Amino acid sequence: MGEQYKPEGFTIRDRRSRSDASSSPETSSPDTQETLTPEEKREIGDAPRSAAAATGAAEQHLHEVTFATFILSLSTSAVVSLGEIPDPSMGKLAINLEHAKQIIDILGIIKNKTLGNLQKEEEALLNGLLYDLRMKYLQKINPVKL
């Protein structure tokens, strides 16, 4: 029992190829090794979890979906399909009247299915968006000639 117990660490070998532009020749060498103590392993292991938890909470707050945000998202897609604002994926205006009509119809179905179950603000938002989208759609399919 005269010997003291010394916990063994582990060895990390970098197996990235030297062609990786982000690594330097010193760090990408397979001969490069680091030995970590168990305490260092615990610290490294805990850091990603706490960072991920903090990031997850922030993302959850930013991407909270409510009825209003859902309806606004659908209506934004319809406005893009009507060619009123640029398509974010292409960066330019694109008209797809069939898609716009489908989204407007979906919003109409949502209105009918949620009748009497919405808060006043939600109902006003849905009614206003539907009216505006229907008018824009009619203007696209029946342009007024002056």
Looking at residue 32, its pLDDT comes to: 42
Kindly state whether residue 4 falls inside one of the protein's structural domains.
no
- Number of domains the chain contains: 2
pLDDT single digits (tens) 9-60? 777 777 777 765 554 544 444 444 456 666 665 665 655 555 555 555 556 5
Q: Is the pTM of this model over 0.95?
A: no
> Is the domain of 82 the same as that of 111?
yes
The residue segments making up the domain with residue 76 are 67-141
Looking at residue 103, its pLDDT comes to: 98
Place of tokens 């490069």: 32
Asked whether 32 and 18 are in contact (CB, 8 A), the reply is no
DSSP characters over 38-83: HHHHHHHHHHHHHHHHHHHHHHHHHT---HHHHHHHHHHHHHHHBT
Looking at residue 67, its pLDDT comes to: 96
Q: Name beta bridge partners: 33.
A: 13
26: helix, strand or coil: helix
Angle at 122 between CA 120 and CA 128, to 5 degrees: 100
pLDDT single digits (tens) 88-129? 888 899 999 999 999 999 999 999 999 999 999 999 999 999
Kindly state whether residue 146 falls inside one of the protein's structural domains.
no
Mean local confidence (pLDDT), 77-90: 94
Looking at residue 28, its pLDDT comes to: 44
- Dist. CA 48–CA 29, nearest whole Å: 25
